[in-house]
Each structure stands twice: as C-alpha cells, then as structure tokens.
Structure 1
Amino acid sequence: MKRICVYCGSSAGASPAYAEAARMLAKAMVDDHIGLVYGGGNVGLMGVIADEVMRLGGEAIGVIPQALMDREVGHRGLSQLHIVKDMHERKAMMAELSDGFIAMPGGIGTLEELFEVFTWSQLGLHDKPIGLLNVNGYYDGLIAFLQHVVDERFLRKEQATLLLNDPDPGTLVARLRSFVPQLHEKLLDPVTAAKIV
C-alpha cells in the first residue's frame, strides 16, 4: 500500500477531536510510509491532514477542480497538486492514485465520495479497502443504518463488511494494510466492470 485517499470535511467541525484525529492519521500514514491523496484544499480537516503530512516529511497529493482553485482554497504547499476540469475527474483521479480509502468526519461531499467508492467495490470495479475513521462516534448512526439496510435485504451482509470502521487512526491504517479482498460474488463480472470504467 503506497497511498491512501482520505475524504474529509472542508470544515474543521464542532469538536477539536476531529482535527486531532486528522493529525494522528497523518502521523500513522507517514510512519507507515503511506502517502496521502486528498481533495487538494487548504481549509478544514483537509488542510489539517495535508499540513501535518507535509510537516512530518510525508507525501501529500491533492486533486482539485479549477473552479475551487480559482476561489483560492487550493493548497500550494503539497508534494503534487493536480488541477482538473470538474468533480468527476477529481474523484476518478483520486481513486486511480490510491490503494485504499478512508472517510474521516465530513459533510455531504465526504459521504458522496465514500458511497461512490463503496458502490464501486460492491460492483466489482475495484477491490481496494475502505475505512471509516469513526472519531467520537461520528459514524455510529451510519453504521447502524447500514445494518438496517442489511436487515431489510437491500445489501448483503458480506458486502456491508467491505466497509471497515475504527475510532483509532493507527489501527484503521493497519487494518487497511492487512485487508484481503473476500471471494464473494460481485454484481458485475470483471469484463463488464472494465467496460464501465
């Protein structure tokens, strides 16, 4: 595992625990020689984790649409900053550059990115690990809801287990690193999946 894509808020959130978790995740990744791929911003939790990775001597790669760069929220102190056309190109490049994904606390954009890569895994478009950094129980409601989705038979149990979760950054990074894809049926065969991407 060379790089992990981290989805997180462009806000710092209500609790200082979120920024502290971002710094701890940065340290866990740098200590394990894992680079950061993220949305390229210099604000909120995005800025916190990127700043800390760079401060610790790690690799931080940002991917940001031109429209957001024009609003001066792009981080100019990264290892690399890719400026792309739109959000679709941004998400595709972030996924391509990464060997796994972690969603930290964040808003609707974070959830949208998380569920897109979760759906891609369910479909068989990738077999990279996906984790929730469940700081202060932030994702407890989501985890409970996904169990409800399983109970109501809209999601198979083995597909739900594709989403790892842990409150500790170091433990979550270790779980992503040791992840072994399960040999269960995907919704698309590899040939069909390749045609979609």
Structure 2
Amino acid sequence: MGLLSEGNPLSWTEIKLVLQQIRTYGLDQLVNVFNKYKDRQKDAFLWGDETELTLVRFDHKNKNVRLLLKSHQLLPILSELNKKIDDEAYRITWHPEACNFAIESVPFQPYGFSSSYFNTVEANMRLRRKQVQRILFEQTDCEYILNITAFPRYGQGQYTYPPIEYGLSYSVEKSLCYSDSLMSPYHPRMKSLLININERRQSKVSINIP
C-alpha cells in the first residue's frame, strides 16, 4: 500500500462525487507516461525486494509472546541511523506498515542485472534485522524482530504489548480482532481505507473459515 505523506484521504461520499474525474486523471496519466517512455531502450535491469518484519516481546517468566506495538518509535531512529552510513550498499530504507507491530524494509540501492547480486540478498536481509535488533537490545533484552508470515496468537487474549482493547466497538471496520490501536500513526490512509470499504459495501468485510 502506498504511503500517504501529504494531504488528507477522501471519504467514500466525497469520492463518489469525483469518480469520473479520478478515472480520467488515471487514464490520462497512464497514456502520458506510456508516450513519454515508449521509445526507451537498453535500460539496465534493476530489481529489489521488500520484507515486512514483525516486532514481538517475550515474557520469559510467564512463557508468553506478544506483538510489540513499537514501529512508530523505531522508524525515526532507523531513518537517522541510515543517513549516517556513507556506504550505500549498507544503507536500508525503512517504511511504516499499516500495523504498528510491523515495519517494512527495502535495500537502499536496487540490485543489478548480474547474477552475482543473488548472493547479496540474504546478507542484506540479515543486515536489516540486525539494525533493528541492535536498537531493541539497547532498551531491553526481551524484544525481537522476526520474519514470520503470521502471528499464531493474533486475536487471542491479550496478544499485544502494551495491551489494547479490541472488539467491535474498538474497530472502524467492526473487526473482532483488529483494533484501531493496532494501526500505525504514520499510515493515515489505512484507517480511511477501512472506513471507505465498509461504506461502499454497506457492510463490513466478511472473512470466514470454510
């Protein structure tokens, strides 16, 4: 999802009034970009990757793990840290994710066309985790950053640190498990998107186990 850093998102009621204008702008932009670059040739092939990392907090005494709502605190620190790194090969670009327990990372420089770049991807991903983990360990020894696709205890009991209230009355999308408190304060588009989806559907999104 693109990050909204300027302006304010429109409500669905406001969007409906300018739908055709938005479609026209989008098509005009597509045609203009195509005409501008249709004759370009022999550009270097560049590529990259994006990882979404999950922050967790271990309670070793009670043998419990919770999602750590801390990405909004880490992002400014990581941004300043990478500005001070002279070698661009060791710099990482960090972005906020929709949830405050997740953080997005991409290499500062894209990878090139040579197959030798394949050998650098894993090391770069490891470097990203080390940057965050070093900051976390400076504050406490029970907070970690992980590469996991899903958190097993999501929505079960007190599954975040700090604890939050969750349920229908705490969620703009009327979710039983996804509270507004999980959203990153750096991602204003997310809350508006969820509200607009429900307004457009005239109901909340229903995802059920088959």
TM over 0.5: no
Per chain length, whose mean CA-contact separation is higher, i.e. which structure has more relative contact order (CA < 8 Å, sep 6+)?
A: 2
Whose helix proportion is higher, 1 or 2?
Answer: 1
| Largest Rg, 1 or 2 | 2
